[in-house]
Structure 1
Amino acid sequence: MMKDVQSVTREQVEDLMFLEAELLDEWRLREWLALFTDDGAYYVPTTDCAPDASPDSALFYVADDRFRLEQRVERLLKRTAHAEFPRSKTRHLVSNVRIRSRGEQELQVGAAVITNRTKMGLTETYIGSYRYRIVAGENGLRIKEKRCLLDMDGLKPNGRISIIL
């Protein structure tokens, strides 16, 4: 039972991030969704956005509030999700985790990430960083916001992201 973000260690944050990577790689998307708060958000800004840009004023590849996150998970788990059926094989590698700041209610956390996606003989690599807003509650650490900042000039020619980064 954890309620105070002041006592959260980097190791506890890493455990959350490593669990998240495992759940995504194993396509346990409903369990992944449970890591988010009820008002959680998942953002992937375009590669030319400022890191702190708002989806209200800038173009994003993904700008999901909790409702849209739930819809994305349900859609990806269906056989009719043609972009992900059969499912891609992914490997999320998370490193350089650090607590960037501590507020009264939440942590600002950063990490480096490489996500490999393999499907139909083609492997794509997404490189970048994560920025999280993490809160502590009755059930441990939860993600209030996840922002994936891509360190790429752009996406491959298909120009889309069909997996969760």
Structure 2
Amino acid sequence: MIPTGLTSPVIARTAPADAARAVREPALICAVSQFLFEEAALLDEWRLDAWLSLFHPDAVYLVPTPEDLGGDPATTLHLVHDTVPTLAGRVERLKSKHAHAESPRSRTRRHIGNVRVWQRLDGLDVRSVFQVVRVRGGVVDRYAGVYEHTLVPRSGTEPDWLIMRRRAVLDHSIESAGGQLSVLL
């Protein structure tokens, strides 16, 4: 909850639904944090197929424009609005020789912190802050923002969750980070 008089456009627009309750159990917060760290490692290590396997078949991956953070992806412009099939196509293109913006591929390092978790009847809402550092051709680009994950239980296998919704909310324009977004945030 943001005290009266203090506002944050990202937090104010991304607060979990009223049906969610904040998780206070350190073991669950730690397990969710480890899930996010592993997801980041898969992306940094370019293990894109393993990363894609973390998604529920009905999942959505969103990157809204920083100018319109509260918009519905069905009616407002997003930098990325992928379902699992379109995300799988994006992964295949990134792995191919035809992805000129990523051939040779960028080196990235993701830093994740301030992990907060809310329990819902059907899963977890997770908010964390991120910084992605991208190095390619001697140029360093930085992307910073907030990750919003909705995780649903996966039965009987590790990890314990699947990503139902993943939203990367940038704190700045793409132009301020080199003008292109060719990596998965």
Q: Is the TM-score greater than 0.5? A: yes
1:36 matched to 2:36? The reply is no
Query: Which amino acid in 2 is paired with 1:13?
Result: V
1:162 matched to 2:179? The reply is no
Deviation of residue 12 (structure 1)?
A: 1.1
Q: Distance in 2 between matches of 1:58 and 1:102?
A: 29
SS at match of 2:167: strand
Partner of 1:133: 150
SS at match of 1:20: helix
SS at match of 1:9: helix
| Aligned residue pairs, count | 157
Q: Distance in 2 between matches of 1:13 and 1:68?
A: 26
| Aligned positions of 1:6-155 closer than 5 A | 9-51=28-70, 53-99=71-117, 101-138=118-155, 139=157, 140-152=160-172, 154-155=173-174
| Larger-Rg structure | 2
Deviation of residue 106 (structure 1)?
A: 1.5
SS at match of 1:40: strand
Query: Which amino acid in 2 is paired with 1:73?
Result: V
In 2, are the aligned partners of 1:136 and 1:142 still within 8 Å (CA)? yes
Structure 2 stretches lacking a partner, 5+ long: 1-22
State the superposition RMSD in angstroms: 1.6
In 1, are the aligned partners of 2:69 and 2:169 still within 8 Å (CA)? no
In 2, are the aligned partners of 1:41 and 1:65 still within 8 Å (CA)? yes
Query: Which amino acid in 2 is paired with 1:118?
Result: V
Q: Which has the higher strand share?
A: 1
In 2, are the aligned partners of 1:61 and 1:160 still within 8 Å (CA)? no
Q: Distance in 2 between matches of 1:50 and 1:23?
A: 27
Q: Distance in 2 between matches of 1:70 and 1:136?
A: 21
In 1, are the aligned partners of 2:44 and 2:107 still within 8 Å (CA)? yes
Q: Distance in 2 between matches of 1:160 and 1:54?
A: 23
SS at match of 1:17: helix
Identity %: 36
In 2, are the aligned partners of 1:114 and 1:126 still within 8 Å (CA)? yes
The answer to which structure, 1 or 2, has the higher relative contact order (CA under 8 A, 6+ apart) is: 1
Runs of 4 or more consecutive aligned structure 1 residues displaced over 6 Å after TM superposition: none
